[in-house]
């Protein structure tokens, strides 16, 4: 439990050395602090640490403010319904971390910072449900690898949050059979984005400072975009998936969402790294920079960057006109901030057709689910897909029953063809970036109008898949709001594997040039949140 583990968790000296290196570099062009007055809706992790250092804020007070917002806006008011399980020991943990900070100093920039987790990351003190009602009491025996790393860094796991149900049938992927729909804080009638819905909504509502989502085919990108957040799908292999419910060995990634690039980088510093139980992380050995990721978050990050405008990934027509206009404004802003835009760049291929034929999660789903379920303790209510179908019956998604019939991934021509298509996409993207000597590609996250909650027969076909199917790193950045419905619009940057420093630098430059984040008017600041 948290209360018994706190004394045994030691600061990671290498991590702290990398963090303190930032201070040595200087603060002139970094986002170490942004203001002398603190506003919780926009405060970065660095801002909060500055307040901790000054004595104007404690972790206990920060958790109290978070809990007050959850009570006012998640449990009452608009009832956003982002939270599945609140950590009952969050305040106790905060007090202990405050005492530790006073006695020994902070473990890391995340010391005493509230974090929310999509409810598919294991926690040894709270159930992990994936939003599925029959798994409401499923209690893992230990923390997920990245959750342990967060706790070791001093982060406080404030809550497990709602998500598009991975096992049960719900309309348009906005909620779960366990907790119901999660509502957008910008407009409760509009789709908040899935499947990391609760993470996106909780952070847009500033219930917490940062959080984790997961991405099989855009499930970090869409909720980040629909909630005016930054969201990072890191290079496949940079972040471990041990203790995380998956639906694809090939495509599954966990990653951070936050209101600022700095907070994305600080979270990545805590969770990236090699894990003996997820050997895909072997590919990341030697790829993590010597300096912390936060050191690449610079206000002048667009200056000198060569960015290719991937117009192969634009769509046209009246349904897309408003977002396309915002995209052109975003491109102009990048040029003003010092970026060199190569516009257009083109693969010469039918990119949409390639994407449509590159997904492999449909074949891998049962095997990925079983890998997680069979590792659960004997007390778990469901420990295999077969048992899920037997116990949950019609509550289970039809696609799970369909894929359960696949006995082996060997000798499946369609599956092998999709894997080859993914390799072709990787080759195509690398050749394109090499041909034009690009630091990154840019394109809209999506250009259609975000649909109403519960709308059926709606498809996000192609959008956000290119990062998922290649495993290349991608970051979503707020790009403004549509005039027709006031909903967020976002741009997406993607680059070569292991270039997270470059992407963070570019996204930070765009953030500094535009400052598009806008707190939702539906959930105004409460007393005590500005000081």
- Euclidean distance between the first and final Cα of the chain, in Å? 34
Identified catalytic residue from 41, 118, 184, 474? 118
Closest CA to 471 of 289, 284, 315, 327: 284
Instruction: Please give the order of strands across the beta sheet that includes 210-215.
Output: 83-86, 156-161, 114-118, 210-215, 253-258, 230-233, 474-481, 488-494, 440-444, 306-310, 340-345
* Annotation marks residue 54 as catalytic: no
Report the DSSP beta bridge partners of residue 341: 307
Closest CA to 138 of 114, 170, 116, 166: 166
Identify the three-state secondary structure at position 80. coil
For residue 39 the two structure tokens come to 């506003």
DSSP string, 297-342: -BTTTTTT-EEEEEGGG---SGGGHHHHHHHHHHHHHHHHTT-EEE
Identify the three-state secondary structure at position 114. strand
* Annotation marks residue 248 as catalytic: no
For residue 85 the two structure tokens come to 């399980």
Identified catalytic residue from 195, 196, 214, 490? 195
Q: How far is CA 137 from the centre of its chain?
A: 25
Helices and strands in the chain, H and E counts: 17, 13
Identified catalytic residue from 164, 219, 323, 467? 219
Report the half-sphere exposure of 37 (CA within 13 A, side-chain side).
6
For residue 78 the two structure tokens come to 């608009």
Task: Judge whether 47 and 209 are in contact, CB under 8 Å.
Answer: no
Task: Judge whether 239 and 255 are in contact, CB under 8 Å.
Answer: yes
* Annotation marks residue 118 as catalytic: yes
Residue with tokens 């080759």: 427
Active-site amino acid positions: 118, 195, 219
């Amino acid at each position: 439990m948290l209360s018994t583990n706190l004394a045994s968790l030691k600061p990671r000296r290498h991590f702290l050395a990398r963090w303190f290196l930032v201070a040595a570099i200087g603060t002139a062009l970094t986002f170490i602090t942004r203001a002398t007055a603190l506003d919780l809706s926009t405060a970065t992790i660095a801002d909060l640490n500055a307040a901790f250092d000054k004595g104007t804020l404690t972790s206990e007070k920060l958790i109290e403010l978070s809990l007050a917002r959850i009570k006012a806006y998640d449990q009452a008011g608009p009832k956003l319904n982002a939270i599945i399980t609140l950590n009952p020991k969050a305040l106790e943990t905060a007090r202990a971390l405050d005492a530790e900070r006073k006695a020994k100093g902070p473990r890391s920039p995340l010391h005493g910072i509230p974090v929310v987790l999509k409810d598919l990351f294991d926690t040894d003190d709270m159930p992990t449900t994936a939003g599925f009602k029959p798994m409401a009491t499923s209690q893992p025996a230990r923390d997920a690898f990245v959750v342990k790393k967060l706790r070791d860094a001093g982060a406080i796991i404030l809550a497990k949050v709602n998500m598009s149900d991975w096992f049960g049938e719900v309309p348009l992927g906005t909620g779960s059979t366990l907790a119901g729909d999660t509502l957008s804080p910008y407009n409760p009638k509009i789709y908040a984005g899935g499947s990391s819905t609760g993470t996106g909504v909780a952070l847009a509502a500033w219930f917490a400072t940062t959080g984790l989502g997961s991405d099989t085919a855009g499930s970090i990108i869409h909720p980040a975009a629909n909630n005016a957040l930054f969201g990072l799908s890191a290079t496949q292999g940079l972040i471990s998936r041990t203790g995380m419910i998956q639906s694809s060995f090939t495509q599954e990634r966990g990653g951070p969402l936050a209101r600022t690039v700095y907070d994305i980088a600080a979270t990545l510093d805590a969770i990236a790294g090699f894990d003996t139980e997820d050997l895909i992380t072997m590919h990341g050995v030697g790829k993590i920079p010597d300096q912390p990721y936060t050191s690449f978050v610079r206000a002048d990050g667009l200056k000198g960057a060569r960015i290719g405008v991937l117009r192969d990934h634009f769509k046209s027509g009246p349904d897309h006109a408003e977002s396309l206009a915002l995209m052109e404004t975003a491109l102009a802003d990048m040029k003003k901030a010092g970026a060199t835009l190569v516009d257009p760049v083109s693969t010469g291929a039918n990119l949409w057709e390639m994407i449509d034929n590159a997904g492999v999660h449909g074949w891998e789903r049962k095997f990925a689910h079983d890998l997680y379920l069979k590792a659960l303790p004997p007390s778990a209510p469901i420990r295999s897909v077969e048992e899920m179908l037997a116990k949950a019956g019609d509550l289970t998604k039809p696609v799970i029953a369909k894929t359960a019939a696949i006995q082996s991934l060997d000798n499946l021509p369609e599956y092998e063809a999709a894997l080859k298509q993914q390799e072709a996409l990787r080759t195509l993207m690398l050749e394109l970036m090499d041909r034009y000597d690009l630091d990154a590609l840019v394109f809209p996250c999506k250009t259609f109008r975000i649909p109403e909650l519960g709308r059926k027969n709606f498809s996000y076909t192609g959008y956000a898949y290119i990062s998922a199917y290649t495993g290349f790193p991608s970051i979503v950045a707020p790009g403004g709001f549509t005039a027709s419905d006031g909903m967020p619009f976002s741009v997406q940057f993607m680059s070569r594997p292991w270039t997270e420093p470059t992407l963070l630098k570019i996204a930070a430059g765009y953030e500094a040039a535009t400052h598009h984040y806008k707190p939702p008017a539906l959930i105004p600041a409460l007393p005590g949140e500005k000081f």
